[in-house]
A = this chain, B = another copy of it.
């Protein structure tokens, strides 16, 4: 039986932790399983490499940045393979080139197009464990790419999807929680969660899973299991539908996404040409804008949206390129607080309860968006954690 496992940076941060992971894998091999392991860079390696590059250039060349960053995972696969071979387990490591992990050529945020899974299976015939560098890929021209923060999750899910198997994702947390236990200590660990909820939570900045990984898992129906590499505690299963016997929660989780700004573009003419251009330009640059709100008066309309503060310059440049006379203003920093749950679809009144919490605590949101399965508000940094705790209480997310 083939199992796909992914270990995050904190799970292999030093030699002791690498040996710990090697021992966990060894047990599975002794259990008769063939194991495909995907690893991230050790500990804070990626951050350190980024700092080094930024000390040389404010805007490091993106192709060269990916050449640089992909070394982190290559160090990890080699060391884990050395550890496994030391334990007497036949293991072999592979980088993106060797498995032809084909991606788009969007440096620093490439998307996987295909993986040579036949080679993985061939190598698995002769070895007990195949170790794959996560996070990295290669374009059809042979340039190295990376998949963006958390991209190793995506590598793991993509391989599991190709091999039609499930995927275990190990980190330093024991599963997926209703919200961040560092902010809300009584956050509940979930035993099951749906792809849709994980997808929303991930794109809302909860660091449970790379959102592209959740997307792929949903698309190819890859069963995920998220747990800690440091304990034997039961983790969280990510599935298509919650088991029938489980009480179906209305709200599954709550998140805070930090470092948001509100961008407002005033006095746009009432034809939609410029608006189309703006959205086209931003989407071509892979910029995720969110919480879009529009308001129009007699002659003009006005557009607001939230983005990560880091993207301010690139957005300003993009819009000024279209028309340098466009009037842009900024407010922030804010936090985005959200609740998520597929159960909201069938439970009316969730929005009303959400806004009552806001009113009871005198919190005035800057922007609001709602979908069938989430509600998000942009609020001041001072109020965001208070709001989160109140929402946890209102929707019974604590234990």
Contact = CB atoms under 8 A, between A and B. Distances in A.
A228 interface: no
B98 A79 contact: no
B60 A82 contact: yes
Contact of A81 (B67, B70, B78, B79): B67
Contacts of A58: 86
A65 B52 contact: no
A57 interface: yes
Given A56-B18, A75-B71, A97 B142 contact: yes
B67 A74 contact: yes
Interface string A50-92: 0011011110110111011011001101110111011000001
Given A64-B82, A67-B74, 20 more contacts: A15-B52, A19-B56, A49-B75, A53-B79, A53-B82, A61-B82, A64-B78, A64-B79, A64-B81, A64-B93, A65-B78, A67-B77, A67-B81, A67-B93, A67-B95, A71-B74, A71-B75, A97-B97, A97-B142, A98-B143
Contacts of A52: 15, 79
Given A67-B74, A71-B71, A75-B68, A81 B61 contact: yes
A85 B67 contact: no
Interface residues of A, number: 37
Contact of A55 (B15, B74, B98): B15
Contacts of A18: 56
A83 B67 contact: no
**In the complex, the 9 A-B pairs of residues with the closest C-beta atoms, listed nearest first:** A68-B78, A57-B86, A67-B78, A71-B71, A61-B85, A64-B81, A60-B82, A97-B97, A64-B78
Question: How many copies of this chain does one complex carry?
Answer: 2
B85 A57 contact: yes
Interface in A29-63: 49, 52-53, 55-58, 60-61, 63
A56 B68 contact: no
B63 A92 contact: yes
Interface of A: 15, 18-19, 49, 52-53, 55-58, 60-61, 63-65, 67-68, 70-71, 74-75, 77-79, 81-83, 85-86, 92-93, 95, 97-98, 142-144
Contact of A83 (B56, B75, B85): B56
Nearest to A75: B71
Contact of A82 (B15, B57, B81, B95): B57
B97 A68 contact: no
A314 to B, nearest CB: 18
**Centre residue among A70, A78, A81 by max chain B CB count within 10 A:** A78
Contacts of A78: 53, 64-65, 67-68, 71
Nearest to A61: B85
B68 A82 contact: yes
A341 B97 CA distance: 46
A286 B363 CA distance: 74
A17 to B, nearest CB: 11
Contacts of A49: 75
A93 B144 CA distance: 10
Contacts of A63: 92
A44 to B, nearest CB: 15
A320 B65 CA distance: 50
26 contacts: A15-B55, A15-B56, A52-B79, A53-B78, A53-B79, A53-B82, A56-B86, A57-B85, A58-B86, A60-B82, A60-B86, A61-B81, A64-B79, A64-B85, A64-B92, A65-B78, A65-B82, A67-B78, A67-B81, A68-B79, A70-B74, A71-B71, A71-B74, A71-B75, A71-B78, A97-B97
Contacts of A56: 15, 18-19, 79, 82-83, 86
